[in-house]
Amino acid sequence: MIDVIVVGGGPTGMMLAAELRLHGLQVVVPEQDTEPTPVVRSLGLHARSLEVMDQRGLLERFLSHGKKHPVGGFFAGIPAPAPQGLDTTHPYVLGIPQPVTDRLLTERASELGASIRRGCTVVGLEQDDDGVTAVLTDGTRLRSRYLVGCDGGRSTVRTLLGVAFPGEPSTVDTLLGEVELTA
């Protein structure tokens, strides 16, 4: 029997899969996308994430693919100085596109022995006293002691379990664009 099924192969799922493998657990990661997304959903890692990467010996992988930006900010177009006395050895934001972060975390989980199954969508869950069975689109049934949903804001796992996502709808529309300019 699989120890843990981690549904979702994004950064949270891959980091969890790697952590579980460090503890010797058998991990399977079903991910519905057949290929990693080229879409940039985030552009950086903050101090606490960098501290965790450093604790796990992963920071150098990330630093070699990103750019350090000093902590600071602005309000109404007025620059604000960096906060003084930050309790971190990484007082910067590492500019790194999410597809790179995803790739590095996937590589780490794979190196540690996590089984990553792309193109696998979970469509059903059956739980009993001994564990959980995840049913995939093709009818495959994966049996495990535990299942963790790391499948994002529109979580299939949450929906299948009937767990509500209370809150208010956003009153602001945002748009993230990735633009390439030529001289």
What confidence score (pLDDT) does residue 138 get? 92
pLDDT in tens, 8-29: 999 999 999 999 999 999 999 9
More confident: 81 or 143: 143
pLDDT of residue 27: 98
Q: Where in the sequence of the chain do the CATH 3.50.50.60 domains occur?
A: 1-37+98-165
Q: What is the pLDDT of residue 165?
A: 83
| Alpha carbon distance 19, 17 (integer Å) | 5
- On whether the 1-37+98-165 domain is CATH 3.50.50.60, my answer is yes
**Average pLDDT, rounded, for the chain:** 92
Cα separation, 70 vs 81, whole angstroms:
10
